[in-house]
Structure 1
């Protein structure tokens, strides 16, 4: 039976030292899911993590969902949760303050769940057309990265536009009311802008080489103490993702329950739904490239060391 773990607001703490391998047959995997309907959110809500975790002697508890990774990262740093989700950019930013985070699973799709849209009537139809216009982003996160990457790939820079830092909900309001001309965004926000507001798709992330998949991350303390628990988490995510691939209506229904329109839910699943892949050597190289890009753009103070921030956990067991 799942228990609800209520996580209070916490301050971002310095990273904890990795724990020694003190694995037991009795542990809680404390899940800090997001309000976004990613694989971890769906899997925790459906109970899909319970069986694999119980097979290795653990149980699953859940916090109230987090609206973004930043507060989830604070909870991870403070030891209130063990696993959370983010775009790769969010984890990279968090690593600057807490190096004891490990990406253990990566969502793979056609790289068309993130992108840039422009308001109808703005005259913006291409990346080059963004010059001189206002663009909503979430500074240091997915939107900021998408905009900078798109501009860079087209020989432009962030100085060529007027970037406006807004949280997703505020960006949606600003975009719908004409306060900004374009929006670098993701997931239901990207689809809703097109379906509900008639926005023009300027480009998907894959069109300009952006690499910011959704990832699932655990604290190093939990990873060191319960490697078979992390392996069970991974196996549960794979199974849940496979279920959604077989029946995408699961994802559509989750979005409807979260409040999006039927048209938006249907449009979301018209794209390939994600599968789960390991944070293997290929992903580790991509993540290191992302760190280099952040440093080149002045988004971080130097290149963040990502060498210990990924792990292929498919063979992890207690030892």
Structure 2
């Protein structure tokens, strides 16, 4: 028997009923908030393509960390914008580099805050690629996968030494989890988990981030090491490799156009799945809201709920502070 015996609207009649049967709950505990730290003094500079997101110098970072903690967010993802860049990203693994300074400071200001270190070379190399560039006899430049692993391991160890709670390698080199896991273990950091950027697509949604991290490639693109947006079975191969190599969490980046991939990983792996709500996804919402075309709060909370409903256990988002406060207001 169906209608009129079955009436699906019965459980939607009031806010209380809807809340009682709600299948997906969103909270500040689900969010990781990205932060960009740079050199200089008294720097709190808004990133033009990402309204509400800033570069902070060390002397302005503490006030932001206090605000993050007050919002109820429990984790931050750190990106460093260095003073010096070179061909091999020396500043990425400098024990006194900007990232390492920021990690040490944050753990002093807010020891309970989970500090995640993005582990890559692109923001620290003068060519903007995520590894060591090799030029052959025909002047053809390629990213040397295996030579890059050694520098990524050094970077991860220096971040762990500074106090990072989680290492998050984002470079998409083959074998990066295996190399970093081995390096951390050998250095005495076997208890530091790895959040692997396992399924990272060569996406057009990264544009504003490259303004923020000053990490745009100076030649070519990243399609030889980031994934083809058309592929989904390949995502399973990437995730399977990382789990076998010791990844503790798996990430899908970007999130919004790849929710099918988030669901696929959730159904196939028994580790936390992280979705990265990336820069252009954020900036498009901010631009539409600034023009009065959308209700920003409603759109953001619906989008983040959709990511969690698709299977994300954790969401990295530039909306995190706003979303956490909106959820607190609704509680």
Q: TM-score, normalised by structure 2?
A: 0.26
Q: Which is greater in Rg?
A: 2
Q: TM-score, normalised by structure 1?
A: 0.27
Higher RCO (CA 8 Å, separation ≥ 6 residues): 1
